[in-house]
Chain A
Amino acid sequence: MEPATQPSGIQMTGEQFLQLRDFIYEKSGIYFADSKKSLLENRLAFRLKAYNFTDYEKYYYLLKYDPQAAKELRALYDTITTNETSFFRSPPQIEAFAEKALPDVMARRQKAGEKSLRLWSAGCSTGEEAYTLGIVLKEVLKDSLREWDIKIYASDISEKALRSAKQATYNEYALRGVPTEVRQKYFKSENSQFVVTDEIRALVELQFLNFMDSARMQLMKGFDIIFCRNVLIYFDDAARKKIVSHLYDNLNPGGYLFIGHSESLHNITRAFKLVHFPGALGYKKE
């Protein structure tokens, strides 16, 4: 995560942290653990500055009682998740996918005599997550990848982001979590930029999709694993419930849903089984 410099130097008290943390969790499902206090402090300092507030209490009251709060919430989410997308983001989740979820769904598929896999990077932004999934698939399956019918759908509501994803060209910063040997295998270096290899790009299918488009959402069927990380926070409670219920329907029985590493579906649905992976959580459809 890029270190943000704190522009204000205003201290967040322990009590203010607990108030804001609980408020954000209730509204968005994103949880700031005690160890993340300075992160939240640093990020929100930008919002305080925008209002010329001199303490976090005022900002908390704005979020809680101001009629404009809904608008500010969006700004807050942008601040706390800013462009966090990168390759191999939240490594324990990627490991849970590679070592637990993927072998599990593959075994299930093989038992049914179907060598096919459908993955979905829902809210793919500029494509890093979708290509990461492709790289992991290749690393896990190696040469037997060819024997499988695999598609990684990557959807977003931003045409601009999708265009960028299609280029599959990234800078050093997006690759900061990528080990050297993976870099050498799956990226071509071009003018100090890194381009994802054709083999991985061929696995990914980009498409425009609005989560509120129920008709389209219903057409997304038969997925084994869905990644929908730090997307739900941008919707209100009712919309979030609707989207998650679509995602549930979009999954095959035995399929997995991964949301952001500190996001929770606790207040959204109990339809899934919560799975504890080493260092990460996931949701399984029975």
Chain B
Amino acid sequence: MTSILEKIKKIDDLPTLPAVAMEALSLAHAPNVSISKLSEVIHKDPPLATKMLKMANSSFYKRGDKPVETIQRAITILGLSEIINITSSVSVLSTFTSKKGFIWESFWDHCVATAIVARTMARKIKMETQGREFVGGLLHDIGKIVLDYTARDDFQKALDLSITRDCPLYEAEQEILGTTHMEVGAFLAERWNLPDYLGDIIRWHHAPENAQFKPMTALISIADLLAKAKQLSYGGDKLSFVLADQAGWQVLIENRYLMDELDLERITFEMDSLAETVRDYIKSVSE
């Protein structure tokens, strides 16, 4: 029996990542990226440029009163890494949301929530991320989209099983599909030539101790759980957990982040309006 993963590897019409997103993502690692270079990349895709301006003027990103009228101005105000984040997020999101059947509100809610929580946590533990945590949060579960795209019925069965058994979705996926969203997502990351750190997050967000980019992957694993605790989750992940017992938490401690100093109760309460923030973000991306 060939596994779903083997089948997926042979599919020709998997969605492709827009060239602009790939360029923007690769710029994220290029030394001395200039504003004009990035602006040039974005202008290659006029609908993207329009969307970028809309976002820069949205409540989520807007700074100050003056409207942002040019991409250059948007980059100056929001900063290079933020623009690279928005570019890649918008491209990836539009790649998938335009495909029929991917109107999974709660799925995107979870991805955006994970991105926002990852950003919050990165600030709390003073991790230097250059905005990677946001893209990582948005894309960590990308394999689920591929599973839905290529094996919808079985993926649905896996979702149902994870709910009835009250187990993590990846366990149910393994049982029914013979693969997991992490494995499939990692394949897509490779096919799309996504940066290594993203491949790592996608592959290891449920076992960050195995990642190359350990602290970043650990951060996303924690954000993933916290988003679920705030009931911004997808499928059967109605879990309870002790954060301090998680592998990701240990990884962060080993990397000398001062986890014990965090007031986790307060952080959790502060996320009270997470659902609202998520809705605002999605509104500004999809408008």
Contacts and interface: CB of A to CB of B under 8 A. Distances in A.
A33 B270 contact: yes
Contact of B273 (A31, A33, A276): A33
Chain B interface residue number, banded: 20 to 34
Interface in A30-53: 31, 33-36
Nearest to A265: B265
A266 interface: yes
A34 B229 CA distance: 18
B270 A277 contact: no
Contact of B263 (A266, A275, A276): A266
A163 interface: no
A276 B225 contact: yes
A273 B245 contact: yes
A274 B272 contact: no
A277 B238 CA distance: 8
A265 B265 CA distance: 8
B230 interface: yes
Nearest to B273: A35
Nearest to B263: A266
B1 interface: no
A33 B267 CA distance: 10
A278 interface: yes
Interface in A227-284: 262, 264-266, 273-279, 281, 284
For the complex, would chain B's binding face be called helix, strand, loop or mixed by DSSP majority?
helix
Contacts of A36: 272
Contacts of A276: 225-226, 229, 240-243, 268
Contacts of B272: 33-36
A100 interface: yes
B110 to A, nearest CB: 13
Interface string B253-280: 0000000000111101110110010000
Interface string B224-238: 011011110100001
B244 interface: yes
Nearest to B237: A278
A277 B265 contact: no
Contacts of B230: 279
Given A33-B272, A274-B243, A275-B242, A264 B265 contact: yes
Contact of B240 (A31, A34, A265, A278): A278
B240 A274 contact: no
Given A33-B270, A34-B273, A274-B242, 16 more contacts: A25-B266, A31-B270, A33-B273, A36-B272, A264-B266, A265-B265, A266-B263, A266-B265, A274-B244, A274-B265, A275-B242, A276-B225, A276-B241, A279-B230, A281-B268, A284-B242
11 contacts: A31-B266, A100-B240, A264-B263, A264-B265, A266-B265, A274-B242, A274-B244, A276-B241, A277-B229, A278-B231, A279-B229
Interface of A: 25, 31, 33-36, 96, 99-100, 262, 264-266, 273-279, 281, 284
Interface of B: 225-226, 228-231, 233, 238-245, 263-266, 268-270, 272-273, 276
